[in-house]
């Protein structure tokens, strides 16, 4: 099961280990810094439609749980070095679209086509 509230990734930047925790505090930081709704922006980020400034603020917010003095420059360096980890963090933090979840529920054992429950 994916924990949609807390998603962590780790990586080294500038010789130092960094842990990003995408939790409610990180989302709050992002919304305060940008004025954008966090989940809407994250959906855009998953499809590469969001700007780099938005992504840096989200990563900076995610750094603050373990690194309260994190800077925007460190966030940018983390993104540049670990784009795959950023994608994993974003993917792990958002639930699947409802239509996908409903489609897969219909294929669950016991949900045979033509059988009414």
Looking at residue 79, its pLDDT comes to 93
Residue 113 domain-assigned? no
Of the candidates 43, 73, 47, the one whose C-alpha atom is nearest the C-alpha of residue 60 is: 73
Looking at residue 111, its pLDDT comes to 53
Of the candidates 26, 32, 25, 30, the one whose C-alpha atom is nearest the C-alpha of residue 41 is: 30
Residue 64 domain-assigned? yes
Residue 3 domain-assigned? no
Residue 2 domain-assigned? no
Residue 1 domain-assigned? no
> By residue range, what is the domain housing residue 47?
8-105
Residue 62 domain-assigned? yes
Domain count for the chain, please give it.
1
E strand or H helix at 7: strand 7-13
Looking at residue 46, its pLDDT comes to 64
Residue 72 domain-assigned? yes
Phi and psi at 58, nearest 5°, equal -65, -45
Q: Please give the Cα distance from 19 to 48 (Å, whole number).
A: 23
Looking at residue 60, its pLDDT comes to 94
Looking at residue 72, its pLDDT comes to 92
Looking at residue 4, its pLDDT comes to 46
DSSP tag of 97: P
10-residue mean pLDDT series, the chain (117 residues): 60 92 91 90 69 88 93 94 88 57 51 52
pTM score, two decimals?
A: 0.69
């Amino acid at each position: 099961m994916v924990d949609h509230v807390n998603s962590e990734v780790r990586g080294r930047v500038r010789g130092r280990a960094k842990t990003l925790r995408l939790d409610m505090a990180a989302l709050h930081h992002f919304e305060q810094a940008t004025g954008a709704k966090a989940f809407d922006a994250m959906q855009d980020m998953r499809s590469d439609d969001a700007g780099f400034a938005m992504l840096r603020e989200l990563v900076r917010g995610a750094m603050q749980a373990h690194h309260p003095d994190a800077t925007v420059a460190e966030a940018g360096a983390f993104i540049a070095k670990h784009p795959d980890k950023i994608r994993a963090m974003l993917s792990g933090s958002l639930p699947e679209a409802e239509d996908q979840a409903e489609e897969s529920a219909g294929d669950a054992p016991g949900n045979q086509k033509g059988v009414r429950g």
